[in-house]
Amino acid sequence: MDLTERFLKYVAVYTHSAKDVKKDPTTERQWDLARILVEDLKEIGCADARVDEWCRVYATCPASPGWEDVPAIGFVAHMDTVVDAPGDNIKPRIVHYEGGDIVLSEGIVTSPKDFPFMDKYIGHDLIVTDGTTLLGADDKAGIAEIMDMVQRFQQHPEIGHRKVAICFTPDEEVGRGPLHFDYEGFGAKMGYTVDGGALGGVCYETFNAANGVITIKGFNIHPGSAKNKMKNAVKIAARFITMLPDAESPEHTEGFEGYYHVGDIEGSESGARMHIIVRDHDRAKFEARKAFVHNLVDYLNSVYGEGTVTLELEDVYYNMKEMILPHMELIDNAMKAMESVGATPRIEAARGGTDGATFSYGGMPCPNLSTGGENAHGVKEFASINDMKKMVDVLQYIACSRE
């Protein structure tokens, strides 16, 4: 099976995960792909391929003779697709891109006007959707590339490589991918997630993240006799929001800029509740941001009375950079691998978390690599066959490195 056939085979399997479901996997349908992958892994020489009770697929590809002493390397990709767009009945199509608009279906186009980076794909074979569903390159491109590399090792035993450990997780899109991960049984002490976008991306920074709930206790009384008595929780909530620096919000920040974000609010005069998230790549700034939010709460309590506003703010994940810095050979190697295929390596900072961040804090340093997919999480998602092929070479370069 070649890379494109394999990719098309996997995107045909419907694997939406589900939000707010507290079981693993969150949807039964992810087993369908897990079972296929176990069979396919066995076919390409991974005799130990297995799926565990939580739908995590594991396999190893043993080291070539003479490579047994080189530390094993892991590759991780996810099987689920995001619920932000329909994910079943995908009708992929291969387009040889020569510039201009790609008509996905009537009235739905992928246009360089919306996506100026399209120019770099002129001359590529792109796999696109019909404009009504996801493609699922996020992250079946990653899966197909890892599988294609292993198949190449089976077909070409003369290519010497270290031991490669593989895991395909369910539920990455809902933050449950790293749960139950078998760090001992996986077979490698460091690895990469293959779950990024355009060719060349290497990511080892994520946000530091805290999520919080703010509860405001008001006091309601008939508006006609409210003078000096009513404490309007809705107004206190509004006051809190306006005290956050507006320029430091998701809609006004990018790159390494952190933010505060109140994403919802509900309430009445007698009580209000809102959710706040705090994000920053820099740990010291992150701590300062959390302290600022606590200060606002203290200030409002000094104005409206102790106990009016309560805040529960919890750290949810940290920037994986701290865990990667002692293992910068992972980054150096990835950069060299990108250069070896003629790609310009790009260090990217995720404005979010990655499963690799959780793996890194769990004891397996795990930066993220590109896949050659673009426009993830929407109906204009596409993948470049040319760049996916290059990614297989990138993975091979890393697996065939003694560093």
Q: Which region, judged by CB under 5 A, interacts with Zn ion, from 195-203, 257-265, 323-331, 345-353?
A: 195-203
Structure token digits, residue 49: 């391929």
Among residues 139 and 145, whose Cβ is nearest to Zn ion?
Answer: 139
Measured from the CB of residue 78, what is the shortest distance to Zn ion in angstroms?
6
Q: Which region, judged by CB under 5 A, interacts with Zn ion, from 25-33, 188-196, 333-341, 351-359?
A: 188-196
Q: Interface with Zn ion includes 138 (CB under 5 A)?
A: yes
Per residue, the 3-state secondary structure of the chain, as one string, reads CCHHHHHHHHHCCCCECCCCCCCCCCCCCHHHHHHHHHHHHHHCCCCCCEECCCCCEEEEECCCCCCCCCCCEEEEEECCECCCCCCCCCCCEEEECCCCCEEEECCEEECCCCCHHHHHHCCCEEEECCCCCCCCHHHHHHHHHHHHHHHHHHHCCCCCCCCEEEEEECCHHHCCCCCCCCHHHHCCCCEEEECCCCCCEEEEECCEEEEEEEEEECECCCHHHCCCCCECHHHHHHHHHHHCCCCCCHHHCCCCCCEEEEEEEEEECCEEEEEEEEEECCHHHHHHHHHHHHHHHHHHHHHHCCCCEEEEEEEEECCCHHHHHHHCHHHHHHHHHHHHCCCCCEEEECCCCCHHHHHHHHCCCCCEECCCEECCCCCCCEEEHHHHHHHHHHHHHHHCCCC
Measured from the CB of residue 75, what is the shortest distance to Zn ion in angstroms?
14
Measured from the CB of residue 222, what is the shortest distance to Zn ion in angstroms?
53
Among residues 138 and 269, whose Cβ is nearest to Zn ion?
Answer: 138
Neighbouring residues of 14: CB distance < 8 A, sequence distance ≥ 6: 29, 32, 87, 88, 89, 90
Among residues 174 and 296, whose Cβ is nearest to Zn ion?
Answer: 174
* Helical packing angle, 385-399 and 3-11, nearest 10°: 110
Question: Residues binding Zn ion: what is the number (CB under 5 A)?
Answer: 3
Q: Which of residues 78-97 bind Zn ion (CB under 5 A)?
A: none
Which one of the listed residues 172, 173, 195, 387 is annotated catalytic? 172
Q: Which region, judged by CB under 5 A, interacts with Zn ion, from 137-145, 283-291, 312-320, 391-399?
A: 137-145
Among residues 141 and 276, whose Cβ is nearest to Zn ion?
Answer: 141
Measured from the CB of residue 355, what is the shortest distance to Zn ion in angstroms?
8
Among residues 29 and 78, whose Cβ is nearest to Zn ion?
Answer: 78
Q: Which region, judged by CB under 5 A, interacts with Zn ion, from 87-95, 135-143, 281-289, 347-355?
A: 135-143
Q: Which region, judged by CB under 5 A, interacts with Zn ion, from 66-74, 88-96, 126-134, 190-198?
A: 190-198
Measured from the CB of residue 70, what is the shortest distance to Zn ion in angstroms?
28
Among residues 176 and 289, whose Cβ is nearest to Zn ion?
Answer: 176
Measured from the CB of residue 138, what is the shortest distance to Zn ion in angstroms?
4
Q: Interface with Zn ion includes 355 (CB under 5 A)?
A: no
Among residues 76 and 309, whose Cβ is nearest to Zn ion?
Answer: 76
What burial class does residue 277 get, using C-beta atoms within 10 Å of its C-beta: 0-12 exposed, 13-18 middle, 19+ buried? Answer: middle
Q: Which of 171, 195, 248, 280 binds Zn ion (CB under 5 A)?
A: 195
Which one of the listed residues 40, 80, 171, 248 is annotated catalytic? 80
Task: Provide the phi-psi class of 93: left if phi over 0, else alpha when psi is between -120 and 50, else beta.
Answer: beta
Among residues 137 and 400, whose Cβ is nearest to Zn ion?
Answer: 137
Measured from the CB of residue 18, what is the shortest distance to Zn ion in angstroms?
16
Would you give the binding string for Zn ion spanning residues 3-42, x where CB under 5 A is met?
A: ----------------------------------------
Indicate if the alpha-carbon torsion angle 204, 176, 50, 38 is positive or negative: negative
Measured from the CB of residue 265, what is the shortest distance to Zn ion in angstroms?
30
Q: Which of 24, 80, 139, 381 binds Zn ion (CB under 5 A)?
A: 139
Q: Which of residues 358-397 bind Zn ion (CB under 5 A)?
A: none
Q: Which region, judged by CB under 5 A, interacts with Zn ion, from 58-66, 175-183, 192-200, 343-351?
A: 192-200
Neighbours of 247 (CB within 10 A): 10
* Residue 80 annotated among the catalytic residues of the structure: yes
State the residues that interact with Zn ion by CB under 5 A: 138-139, 195
Q: Which residues are catalytic?
A: 80, 172
